[in-house]
Every structure is written in structure tokens, then in C-alpha cells.
Structure 1
Amino acid sequence: MTDTPSSLSLTLATEADTIRLGEELALVVKPGDCVALWGDLGAGKSTLSRALLRAMADDDYLEVPSPTFTLVQNYDLRISVAHFDLYRLADPAELEEIGFADALDTGVCLVEWPDKAGTSLPAKRIDITFGFDVGGGRQVTITAPASKIARIERVLSIRRFLDAHGYTGARRRHLTGDASTRAYEYIYPADGGTRRILMDAPRQPDGPPIRDGKPYSQIVHLAEDVYPFVAIDQALRERGFAAPEIFERDCEAGLLVIEDFGPDTVLDGDGKPIPERYRASVACLAALHATRFERDIQIEAGLVHHVPDYDRTAMKMEAELLIDWHLPWKRDGAPATQAERAEYLAIWDDLIDQLATAEKTLVLRDFHSPNIIWRGEQEGIQRIGLIDFQDAMIGPSAYDLVSIVQDARVTVERDLVDQLMADYLALRRSEPGFNEADFRRAWAIMSAQRACKLNGLWVRLMKRDHKPRYMKHMDRTLWHLSVAFEHEALAPLRDWCARVGIGETESRPQAR
């Protein structure tokens, strides 16, 4: 998308419409955004600002004093917001003195009377111009780079979707975004009904082809729209697992209104594992792996989702993140030699060959603490709310057990790891055809594969995507790799890592 200026116009018939626009802009703005509000006294600038700030705070009674005399009021919210009122600004040069540049670096700047800033505001800003409508309301024109206008149009289209499905007047509040392009909102019906969750997952365009004419997402089988989520959700619910009910959907638009399982997770208030909940999660996983799932799931007439295989190409592509990103970072930019790369890939070919006899089941792929909701009022497997499975594949069942006992974001202490492994194996041993030795070997191989992927991914997120915060997990995922190395099948990879210097200086992570 070219980022040339674009615009849209809205009619705000009442003050409630202005408040609603402010609340929806709170779902749109990102760090680095400057929102400039233009208009005469009484046009609605302060009303919109107050609504935006209260929505971002999720506090309808948040004090929002006018910064007319102080020039700026700072709010430490989900995103830091600096609310500027420049009416009394004597000279644009004073903007630097009151911290405008710093505020824009770390959060959002909301600016009333932006004309007082001269040419000091960023060119790529969001301009909102208020005018008086002949009918007594307000006419608003929003002008911004095309990428920012697209964000605003998206949030307005979601409002139209909600209005069309019985949620007119519903209050919307940010819930979370994840590492993908998905975002989530809480939906509070206007009639006081049960809170819902909106999933916003627009179909993504293909990235550049990187191998055999395919983009990375296709090679590793990442969901590109919401149809896989709908299909797997349906399959899980039909088999008695706690996946959220889908109340409304527009799959082509990438919008779902789904059941809210509540706020409880498998972690305590300090972010540490609650053993009882982890053990219940592993019991649920054992039941899942003992359940048969169809490879082709009919979503609706004429529409079938084919669950892909976690195949050699996908496994190797993910494992290559270690050699493509982690190793050069470890060597201050020096890449792997051709010989090192050839040996590494040959090792992985042999490890993947050893998975030929491993049990293959539906693999949810992200079965770890952020995606497990604790439903303590339920019983059995219904206590475990499953919410992230759109990338599910058919692959080694051991992968999902790796995901939870080697949680990338939370340190699961070794004694609990051993307990969870024992629980799982005790539940599966009596099943016809279950081979414990094969499973333990598959667990070690998938542990190493996942750790190689993550130890490369953290560096890629830092270097390419400018998201350094994920590097805090590095010690933990290197420790996970060392645990995988305890199995004799991983000796070749362990020796290769020792020779190239991966993992040699890192220590075991402290509990979160």
C-alpha cells in the first residue's frame, strides 16, 4: 500500500456519535501516531479526546482535565498518551520544551489547536477536522496516510458488522493483539447482555515467495483467513472440547463474534504456573491426542477445510531460523558457512526421518499459557478453554506436549516438567498402539525443532521487525534446547551446536 494521503468524511449527528468515534479511535491508534484535532470552539474536539482517553483507560469516569494552561497532560495507559492543548502556545519551538518529540517516540500524541504548532507536527499524522453540519450535528473529515486511513476504515467496518448482527450501540474495548495480524476486542452489548469477544483477522496478502514460488506462511501452513479457525473450532466442539461458540461471522471479512471464556489462565498473579491447572491442561491434551479427527472438515455447503500436514518442508523451514538469524547474531553478523549449513540441514533430515513411526494427531500448535483459559467451574476437559488453533496441523502429537511443558514465555520448573510428562504418559500407556519409546524420541526431536525455531525467531523479531522485547525469552528457549539434547537421538545436533558456539554461555533462566 502506498502511503499517500487519503481521507474520509463522517456525519456525527449527536454528541453520542462523537463519543463513539473517540472510543473507536482508541482501538486504532498505535505508538507514534499524532492525532491533530482541528475546529472552532465547541466543535467537539474535547469531547472526542475525552472519549478516546476514557476508552483507552477502560474507565468511563477517568478525570480528563483540559490541558489549556499546562499545555500537556500525560496518561500512562495501555499505550502512553500525551494530550496537548496548544491554544496558549507562544512559539512552535516550545513544543520541544514540553516533550512533544519524546511523547511521540513512546506513545500517541493527541493535539488540540494544532495550527499553533506551525510546521512542527509530523507530516504523517491523522488530521481530524470538525465542522458544523446544517442539521445541527458535526461534519468530520479525517485525512491521513493511506495505511492509517485503512486502520480507521477497518474499525468503522467492524461497527457496521456489529450493528448488522444485533450489537447496535455495543461498547467496544481493546482486549489484545497477538504476534500475528489478529486483534481482539471485548464487546459489551447495549442491553447489558453477556460480554462477547470480537476476533478481527482480515485475510492477509501473500508475502514474497522465498522457496518453490511460495511465501513463508504457505510453507509452514499458517492460516491466512478465519476459515481454519471456524473449522477446527467446530471439530473440537463436536468432540466435547471447550472451544468458543461462534455467534456471528463474516469469514470473507475476517470477523467473528465468539464466546468469552473469562479472564482466568493457568498462571498465578505473579505469572508462574499453577501446577493443578497445568496438570489438567496436560490431561486435556492426552484426551485430544486419543481422539480421531477428520482431515477434511466441512464448514458449510461446498466449503471444506483440509488440515495440512506438519511436513518436512515446514519443519525444516522453521528450524532454519536458528542458522539464518541466531547464528549470525551470535557471531556479530557473520553467517554460517556453506559446510555448516549443509551439515545442519542434513542433521534435520535425519531427525525428521526418525519421526516416520511417531504418532500423528491433530496438533493445535500453540498449546501454551497465553492460549489456555481456566474454567474452574466446569469439569474434566471442559475446564480447559482452547482459543488458538487456527494453525492446527496433522503432525507428531509430542509437539503440543512440548508447547506446554516448555512454555516459551513462562519458566516451567523441571520438577513440574517431569510431573507433567509422567501424567501424560500414564494417561496414554494403556491405549492400543501407543509406543512410549517412540513418543519420548519424538518429544525430544520436536523440542529441539521448536527451540531452534524460537531461538532464531527472537533475533528476527529484534533485527528485522524492531521488536526487541522477545529477546527476554532467549535464555529460557536455549535451556529448552539443552533439555532436548538429553535424548541420545539429538547427539548430532548437540555436537553441531557445541562446535558453532550456540548455547555455550547461556545459563538456565530464572522463574518468571
Structure 2
Amino acid sequence: MTLPEPARAFLAREGWQDALSRPLAGDASGRSYARLTLGEKIAVLMMSPSPDEVTHFENVGRWLLSNGFSAPQIMASDAPAGLMLIEDLGDDLIFDLVEADPAREAPLYGAITDALLALHRLAPPDFVAPLDATGLGDLTRLGQDWAPLLSAEAATEVPDLVTTLAARLDDLAPVLCLRDFHAQNMLWLPGRDGVARLGLLDFQDAVAAHPSYDLVSALQDVRRAVSPEVEAREIARYTAARGLDPDTFAADYALLGAQRALRIHAVFARLCLGAGKARYVDLMPRNWALLHRNLAHPTLAPLARAVGAAFAPPDAPLIERLKRECGTRPMR
């Protein structure tokens, strides 16, 4: 793998100039990754277009490590250049382990819930921004610009409805939410103990938010279908462990699930139309099904009506149209 000159200069400063590099699978962001091998040493090079992202990743990572969680150790960083050298936690993604052996889904998702419960017993660090009701609504405004619409007027109503509904969320103290918290961003580290067995990745967008946010992210994973039995069991375990009212938490969970699915719907359309990444539109039908499962909760009836009027369902003809138009609306 040929690295860009700033990355080569960074590695030379850190004594890794002779390392062999090979690309690692990226994600939906503009970040890229390389696995480095230097003799018996290994590391991961993260290259980001955002200096702030690198700084936040480093801050959140150090906080997680100091509280007993497994985040990659920070070996070196150059935030202005968007570069970071981090510990390589291996390849045992929860996603891959469960796909290879579905019998492992229940115990591994139990470990995910255990990690969230431990995380949520802690006050979030003061350097993370809050994701409040207004912020939750604003995150869905992307749909007005990128999601295929039935009614632009109805689409403008959706963010304000999300904000209004989110203002009524159960009054639980905010917790640290890693946000992109799903099976492809978690590693299984069986040689470690307790919550440290779950390796955490991709937390540069972490915020302080409602406790259901990351639970929804893990259990309503658009990339793999978590079994209904496991989802129900882990929700019940979480509410019981925290002494929460199940009905109230179910309403909160449905709202945060709907909010996430609305944003993901628009993000996937943008990744195709604006970034030329057609593969994401194949996930839109599953995300759409999750969205409407959440919207079926009685407390979300006004939002369900607005969404039904605003957005075109991602049926087969729409998916094909998005693929034909892939990359035709470059993002500025």
C-alpha cells in the first residue's frame, strides 16, 4: 500500500518508516486505515480528513481506557495532519463472529449490554458535547436534501417533530454515547477480563445523550439482523439492571430508533448520490423496516404520519434509480 507523503513523514518521525502497510476495510466516512507491520510489532494507522476528529478520538479513547474499557492505545498522533498511530486490537469483529456462528449471538450481545451498563454507571466526560432534543431533530434534516421525497413540505416537518418528541424523553441523566455502536465496530478480546473483553472502535463522534441511543444502535443494526429474541432479552436486561420502567423506556427506545433510522436513510442516499458508494442503498430496505417498526409505537403517531407523507419507500425501482444516479451529485 502506498501511503500519502504526510503519512510517510509522520511514520518516519515515529520510527515506523520501514513498516509494511496494507489497507484495512474503511467505513462510510472519509477516514482510511492501514495495518502496519514492523518486525514483530503491529499497529494501525488512521488517516482522517478532520483534525478535530483525531483530537476527539484521542480524548474519548483515553477516557475509556482510564475507566477499564478496551479502546486502542494511542501510540502517536498528529491531529493537524489528521494522523494517528493506534494499537491493533485484531480482527475478531463481533459481526464476523456471529455471522460465522449464529449460536454466539446471544452471549456476545449479552457482553455488549454488560459493557453499556458499566459505561452508563459513569458520568460522561465534560469534553463531550450534549446531543439534546434540538440536536436529535437537526440530525434528521439531512433527509430534506438527500432522501428521495414524496413531499418536500412534509419533509420539513419531520425534524421539528423529532425535536418535540425528544423533549419529552424520560428524564434520565445523559451518558457517554459512542454513536456508531454496532457489531462491525466492536471486537471480541477473550484474553481480557470483564467489560475489557469488548474492544471499542470508531468513537470519534461520541456525545452525551439518552441511555437508549447506543442500545438501539447495537440492537437495531442495519448491517445485520439481530434476532428479535436477543433484542427483547437485552432490552429487558438493561431496564431491569437500571431499575427503569419498561413501558417508558420502550417509548424512548422507539423514538431514538426512529431518529437514527431517519438519519441513516438520508446518509445512505447521500453516500450513493454524493460519494458514489452504491453498496449502501442495498441496506435501505432493512433500515426502512426498522424505521417503521419504531414508528408503530403509539407515542410516535404524529411522526409516523409525517414520515409516510414525506419520504418515498426504498422499493426495488427506487433502489435501481439511486444506483443509476450514483455519484451524480458530488458533495461540496
Alpha-carbon distance in 1 for matches of 2:5, 2:314: 51
Query: Residue 119 of structure 2 corresponds to which residue in structure 1?
Result: 288
Alpha-carbon distance in 1 for matches of 2:155, 2:311: 14
Residues 359 and 439, structure 1, Cα contact 8 Å, conserved in 2: no
Residues 199 and 257, structure 1, Cα contact 8 Å, conserved in 2: yes
1:387 maps onto 2:201 in alignment: yes
User: Residue 269 of structure 1: CA displacement?
Assistant: 6.0
Query: Residue 325 of structure 1 corresponds to which residue in structure 2?
Result: 146
1:315 maps onto 2:162 in alignment: no
Residues 358 and 439, structure 1, Cα contact 8 Å, conserved in 2: no
Letter in 2 for 1:170: A
1:198 pairs, out of 26, 40, 45, with: 45
1:257 maps onto 2:73 in alignment: no
TM-score (ref. length: structure 2): 0.86
Evaluate the alpha carbon distance shift between residue 426 and residue 346 of structure 1 in structure 2; reply closer, same or farther with a 3 A threshold: same
Query: Residue 491 of structure 1 corresponds to which residue in structure 2?
Result: 301
Query: Residue 177 of structure 1 corresponds to which residue in structure 2?
Result: 26
1:464 maps onto 2:281 in alignment: no
Evaluate the alpha carbon distance shift between residue 499 and residue 421 of structure 1 in structure 2; reply closer, same or farther with a 3 A threshold: same
Matches within 5 A, 1:100-499: 155-189=4-38, 192-203=39-50, 224-268=52-96, 271=99, 274-275=104-105, 276-295=107-126, 306-328=127-149, 331=150, 335-337=151-153, 340-341=154-155, 343-355=157-169, 357-429=171-243, 434-499=244-309
Alpha-carbon distance in 1 for matches of 2:170, 2:116: 22
Letter in 1 for 2:198: I
Identical positions, percent: 33
User: Residue 390 of structure 1: CA displacement?
Assistant: 0.9
TM-score (ref. length: structure 1): 0.57
Matches within 5 A, 1:51-70: none
Alpha-carbon distance in 2 for matches of 1:492, 1:270: 37
SS at match of 2:222: coil
Cα-Cα RMSD: 2.4
CA deviation string 1:350-394 (max 9, x = no partner): 212212624311111111011101112222101100111111111
SS at match of 1:256: strand
Alpha-carbon distance in 2 for matches of 1:450, 1:255: 29
Evaluate the alpha carbon distance shift between residue 248 and residue 325 of structure 1 in structure 2; reply closer, same or farther with a 3 A threshold: closer
Higher RCO, Cα 8 Å, sep 6+: 2
Letter in 1 for 2:128: V
Alpha-carbon distance in 2 for matches of 1:382, 1:345: 37
Residues 497 and 503, structure 1, Cα contact 8 Å, conserved in 2: no
Residues 374 and 384, structure 1, Cα contact 8 Å, conserved in 2: yes
Residues 284 and 381, structure 1, Cα contact 8 Å, conserved in 2: yes
Residues 185 and 198, structure 1, Cα contact 8 Å, conserved in 2: yes
Residues 288 and 314, structure 2, Cα contact 8 Å, conserved in 1: no
Residues 55 and 79, structure 2, Cα contact 8 Å, conserved in 1: yes
CA deviation string 1:67-108 (max 9, x = no partner): xxxxxxxxxxxxxxxxxxxxxxxxxxxxxxxxxxxxxxxxxx
User: Residue 323 of structure 1: CA displacement?
Assistant: 4.2
Evaluate the alpha carbon distance shift between residue 461 and residue 377 of structure 1 in structure 2; reply closer, same or farther with a 3 A threshold: same
User: Residue 277 of structure 1: CA displacement?
Assistant: 1.3
Residues 445 and 484, structure 1, Cα contact 8 Å, conserved in 2: yes
Residues 140 and 262, structure 2, Cα contact 8 Å, conserved in 1: yes
Residues 182 and 199, structure 1, Cα contact 8 Å, conserved in 2: yes
Evaluate the alpha carbon distance shift between residue 227 and residue 496 of structure 1 in structure 2; reply closer, same or farther with a 3 A threshold: same
Residues 458 and 470, structure 1, Cα contact 8 Å, conserved in 2: yes
Evaluate the alpha carbon distance shift between residue 359 and residue 349 of structure 1 in structure 2; reply closer, same or farther with a 3 A threshold: same
Higher Cα Rg, which structure: 1
Alpha-carbon distance in 2 for matches of 1:400, 1:164: 37
User: Residue 165 of structure 1: CA displacement?
Assistant: 1.5
User: Residue 505 of structure 1: CA displacement?
Assistant: 6.7
Evaluate the alpha carbon distance shift between residue 425 and residue 503 of structure 1 in structure 2; reply closer, same or farther with a 3 A threshold: farther
- 5+ long unaligned stretches in structure 2: 317-332
Letter in 1 for 2:232: D
User: Residue 317 of structure 1: CA displacement?
Assistant: 2.4
SS at match of 2:203: coil
Residues 125 and 176, structure 2, Cα contact 8 Å, conserved in 1: no
Residues 6 and 81, structure 2, Cα contact 8 Å, conserved in 1: no
User: Residue 437 of structure 1: CA displacement?
Assistant: 4.1
The answer to which structure has the higher strand fraction is 1
Evaluate the alpha carbon distance shift between residue 343 and residue 479 of structure 1 in structure 2; reply closer, same or farther with a 3 A threshold: same
